[in-house]
Amino acid sequence: MKFAIALFSAAHAPSSRRALLFAQAALAGGHEIVRLFFYQDGVHNASGSVVTPQDELDLPRQWRTFVTEHQLDGVVCIAAALRRGVLNAEEAGRYQREAVAVAAPWELSGLGQLHDAVQDADRLICFGGA
């Protein structure tokens, strides 16, 4: 089965951990993940600026490791990221901001990437959101 996974909740939310566990289990079960799409507050899961307390799970780091190790397509919604100050080097330069929070393996891109993923996947699985 091919999955597209959309994450809408911030790194400290339980649904972010559930999304990661689901993605790990999907790959372990022989399934494919066509794209991970981070939207709304979910963009914080791709931020290198999140500092997690030592007694909590560092989900942004775990997501980065997971995406890198499995060479997955990790897309961060550019509009949601800009709104929340989660910028890559290109967008930081464009908007004359000093903070860069997103780097490889993440890609900032538009909502069309989610649409394309849904077309390629058998199932869209969403975590978080209102």
Decide if 77 is catalytic: yes
From 19, 23, 77, 78, the catalytic residue: 77
Other residues' Cβ atoms within 10 Å of the Cβ of residue 2: 14
**DSSP conformation letters of the chain:** -EEEEEE-S-TTSHHHHHHHHHHHHHHHTT-EEEEEEE-GGGGGGG-TT----TTS--HHHHHHHHHHHTT--EEEEHHHHHHTT---HHHHHHTT-------TTEEEE-THHHHHHHHH-SEEEEE---
Q: Which residues are catalytic?
A: 77
